[in-house]
Copies of this chain bind each other. A is one copy, B any other.
Amino acid sequence: MKYNISDTAQNAKASEVREILKLTQTPEVISFAGGLPAPDLFPVEDIKNVTAKVLEEDALVALQYTTTEGNDDLRRAIIDQRLKPFNMEASLENIMITSGSQQGLELTSKMFINKGDTVIVENPTYLTAISPFKSYGVNLATVNTDDDGIIIEDLIETIESNKNVKFIYLIPDFQNPTGRCMSVERRKQVVEIAEKYNIPIVEDSPYGELVLEGEKLPTIKSFDKNGYVIYLGSFSKVFCPGFRIGWIVADSALVEKYVILKQGVDLQTSTIDQMIVARYMQEYNLDNHIEKIKDLYRNRRRCMLDAMEKYFPENIKYTKPRGGLFIWVMLPETEDSKEILQRAIEEKVAFVPGQPFHAHGEVRNAFRLNYSNMPEDRIEEGIKRLGVILKEIL
Stretch in A85-93, A95-103, A148-156, A364-372 with 4+ CB within 8 Å of B: A95-103
Q: How many copies does the complex hold?
A: 2
Kindly identify, within residues 268 to 316 of chain A, every residue whose CB is under 8 Å from any CB belonging to chain B: 268-273
B42 and A63 form a contact (CB under 8 A): yes
What are the residues of chain B within 8 A of A236 when measuring CB–CB?
A: 65
Q: Produce 1/0 per residue, A315-349, CB < 8 A to B.
A: 00000000000000000000000000000000000
B5 and A260 form a contact (CB under 8 A): no
A59 and B47 form a contact (CB under 8 A): yes
Stretch in A214-222, A240-248, A354-362 with 4+ CB within 8 Å of B: A240-248
- Would you call A183 an interface residue if the criterion is a C-beta within 8 Å of the partner chain's C-beta atoms? no
Q: Produce 1/0 per residue, A99-128, CB < 8 A to B.
A: 110110110001111110100000000001
What are the residues of chain B within 8 A of A44 when measuring CB–CB?
A: 55, 59-60, 63
- Would you call A56 an interface residue if the criterion is a C-beta within 8 Å of the partner chain's C-beta atoms? yes
- Would you call A132 an interface residue if the criterion is a C-beta within 8 Å of the partner chain's C-beta atoms? yes
Q: Which of A7, A12, A47, A198 has the most CB of B within 10 A?
A: A12
B264 and A132 form a contact (CB under 8 A): yes
Shortest distance from the beta carbon of A37 to any chain B beta carbon, whole Å:
8
Closest to A55 in B: B48
Q: How far is the CA of A66 from the CA of B244 in the complex (A)?
A: 11
Q: How far is the CA of A102 from the CA of B68 in the complex (A)?
A: 12
- Would you call A391 an interface residue if the criterion is a C-beta within 8 Å of the partner chain's C-beta atoms? no
Shortest distance from the beta carbon of A191 to any chain B beta carbon, whole Å:
11
- Would you call A226 an interface residue if the criterion is a C-beta within 8 Å of the partner chain's C-beta atoms? yes
Stretch in A169-177, A251-259, A376-384 with 4+ CB within 8 Å of B: A251-259
B243 and A270 form a contact (CB under 8 A): yes
B4 and A66 form a contact (CB under 8 A): no
- Would you call A9 an interface residue if the criterion is a C-beta within 8 Å of the partner chain's C-beta atoms? yes
A and B contact pairs by CB, cutoff 8 A, 18 listed: A2-B198, A6-B117, A9-B112, A36-B64, A39-B64, A47-B63, A51-B52, A64-B242, A99-B266, A99-B270, A102-B264, A103-B265, A241-B271, A242-B272, A243-B272, A244-B267, A244-B268, A265-B265
